[in-house]
Each structure stands twice: as C-alpha cells, then as structure tokens.
Structure 1
Amino acid sequence: MRILNIKSGFLRRRISESPLSTRPQPEEAQKWAESFAVLMASKYGSSLYRAFLLREFSNENLEFWLAVEEYKNSKPQKMAAKAQQIYNDFVAVQASKEVNLDSETRLITLTNVQSNNPDQHVFDRAQRRIQHMMERDSYLRFLQSELFLELVRNERCSASTS
C-alpha cells in the first residue's frame, strides 16, 4: 500500500503547495510548543498538525474539534441541522469518524443536540474531552515529529551561526 509509505517530505511539499505556502519563521513554530491553543491559532501550524494526523491515520479528533469550532460560528437558524450532522459524523456510536468519548459525554451531547434550541455550547463537554486527549497524546507526538522539529532546528541553526 503506497499510502503507508508517505514521507514527511511529501507532506511538506503538499503544505507548501497549499494557499498557506508561507513557511513560518522558526520563532513562530517554536511558540506552537507552548500550548495546543497556540498551535491551533496558527493556520500553518494547524495545517501541519492535520498533515501529521493524516499520516498517522488519526485525524478524526482534530476534524471533530474543527467542526465544533466552525459550528460555534454558525447562524442560529442553521445550528440544529449542523449539530445533528456533527453528532452523526463523530459522536454517534459507529459513526463514520467516531471519536473516543465516554458514554456519559455521548449521552449529554445527544441530549444537547436533541434539545429544541441547540446553542454554541452543545458540544462543549465533548470538545473539551477530545482536546484533552489530543493535548496528552497526538499533540505531544507532533512536537517530537520531524515535521515540527525541522522548523525548530532551523531556528537553532540560525541562532548558532549568528
């Protein structure tokens, strides 16, 4: 299977061919190690993190997190339909991109989605749980990955030559 042989160079090329092709300064990349929130606030950083997760076949948590962020900015009249779609795609048992949630969080989320007037807080508990999992696992692996370290090494090389 060719997809299993994806190299980090391929992912860097893909990202460099995207609209986010401006490679960040090493100082910016180093800031991503401060917190998950700082990483996600950077368009390049979040794209690189997504590429990392795709390579590991574990991108459903990030996709859910991003879908919830987008949902929070939805127009109120579209929230009910979007909430149901996110629930069906990510939260429901055996969903196509099911995220790993405990049964209590799943039930609370379902209750929120099925309420008469879902608001921007419908997925708060589930999103916090998924973010916490990413912060403890895939985010830390990302910070040790060649995709990230290559950007940071450039800073060290630049600093040592000055």
Structure 2
Amino acid sequence: MRFNLGFLRRRSTEVSLSTRPQPEEAQKWTESFTILIASRYGSSLYRAFLLREFSNENLDFWLAVEDYKNSKPQKMAAKAQQICTDFVAFQASKEINLDTETRLITMANAQSKNLDQHAFDRAQRRIQHMMERDSYLRFLQSRLFLELVQTENYPTSTGYLSES
C-alpha cells in the first residue's frame, strides 16, 4: 500500500503551510518517543503509520491511559473498566501484548476501591517500551517520515517543491 504525505496537502498554500510541520520539528521526533507523542502532528502521523500496519492497539491503549490519568476522580472507575475491557482483558477487542503477571496486576489495580492515576503505570511502561523498540523505530525509517524531514519536499509560497 502506497502511503505518502499527500493527506497533509491542501489546495490553499496558506492552509498547507500551517498544516504540515516544519522538517526541523519532525526531526525532533527522532530524539524520543515522548517528543513524537507530545507533537500533535507527530502523534497523528504515527497513528496513521500504525493503522496502515494494523498495529494501533498499543498506541490506543497508551493514549487511553493518558486520558485516564487526567480524568476527574469520579470518572476514573468507568474509564479504568473501559480500558480493561478494550485492551487488558484476555481476548479483548484490542488486546495488547502483556505478560500474564502485568496483565493480572493491572486488572487488580483497575478493580481496586482506591483507584488512582497510577493504576495502569506498569502496563503503560511495558507497552511504551515495546513501541520504542519496535514500531517507533520502524516509523522513523518509514517513507512517510523520511519524506517529511527532507527539506526539499517542504512547501514554499508557490507550492510544493517536490510532489510524490
């Protein structure tokens, strides 16, 4: 499947320039997974890359946990249950790859009467580590990313220098 930066392009150059990240910003994503995910553009492109590879469940879990951590205490129980149902439970619809011990600890934490923002920390760290070792590195080697960091492909005021 061919996948390029065409979806970032708009007909109006003015909109294009504000839509596509600068090559320098994209280059910063190589410094760490955290920098990539903190970027609105970076996280969107990484998600698109993972969707193409049919492996977006890890990122979806990671983002769901981030949302959970920033939830109001009265919403944590419902969100914890949803995360477990969607990602952590055996045979979940978007089951993530966790070792049995981490899965059981995470399930117990999520069902605790004293839920806090750290209920999913262990599982989230494992999933982040997996992404950093695997899909993040593949993303940085992908044509999608490499085209983005090439300055000769960056749009100018008269349009794109290089169409792909």
Give the shorter-chain TM-score range: 0.7 to 0.9
Select the residue among 84, 104, 107 that pairs with 1:107: 104
Select the residue among 50, 55, 58 that pairs with 1:58: 55
- Structure 1 position 72 matched with structure 2 position 69: yes
How do 1:89-100 residues align onto structure 2 when only pairs under 5 Å count? 89-100=86-97
Structure 1 residues 23-79: Cα deviation after superposition (integer angstroms, max 9, x where no partner) = 111111000000000000100000000000000000000000000001111110010
Structure 1 residues 72-102: Cα deviation after superposition (integer angstroms, max 9, x where no partner) = 1111001011001001100000000000000
Query: Which residue of 2 is the match for residue 160 of structure 1?
Result: none
Q: Say which structure, 1 or 2, has more relative contact order (CA 8 Å, 6+ apart).
A: 2
Following superposition, the deviation at residue 109 of structure 1 comes to 0.4
Alignment TM-score, normalising by the size of structure 2: 0.85
Identity of aligned residues (%): 77
- Structure 1 position 122 matched with structure 2 position 108: no
**Aligned pair in 2 of structure 1 residues 76, 30: CA closer, same or farther (>3 Å)?**
same
**Aligned pair in 2 of structure 1 residues 14, 156: CA closer, same or farther (>3 Å)?**
closer
Q: Where in structure 2 are there 5+ consecutive unaligned residues?
A: 155-164
**Aligned pair in 2 of structure 1 residues 107, 130: CA closer, same or farther (>3 Å)?**
same
| Aligned length in residues | 150
Alignment TM-score, normalising by the size of structure 1: 0.86
Contact 2:8–2:19 (8 Å) recurs in 1: no
Following superposition, the deviation at residue 16 of structure 1 comes to 4.8
Higher helix share: 1
CA distance in 2 between partners of 1:16 and 1:117 (Å) = 48
**Aligned pair in 2 of structure 1 residues 155, 108: CA closer, same or farther (>3 Å)?**
farther
**Aligned pair in 2 of structure 1 residues 135, 118: CA closer, same or farther (>3 Å)?**
same
Following superposition, the deviation at residue 155 of structure 1 comes to 6.3
Query: Which residue of 2 is the match for residue 26 of structure 1?
Result: 23
Contact 1:26–1:155 (8 Å) recurs in 2: no
**Aligned pair in 2 of structure 1 residues 117, 15: CA closer, same or farther (>3 Å)?**
farther
**Aligned pair in 2 of structure 1 residues 115, 55: CA closer, same or farther (>3 Å)?**
same
Contact 2:147–2:153 (8 Å) recurs in 1: no
Q: Show structure 1 runs of 4+ deviating over 4 A.
A: none
Q: Where in structure 1 are there 5+ consecutive unaligned residues?
A: 158-162
Following superposition, the deviation at residue 156 of structure 1 comes to 9.3
**Aligned pair in 2 of structure 1 residues 125, 58: CA closer, same or farther (>3 Å)?**
same
CA distance in 2 between partners of 1:15 and 1:76 (Å) = 38
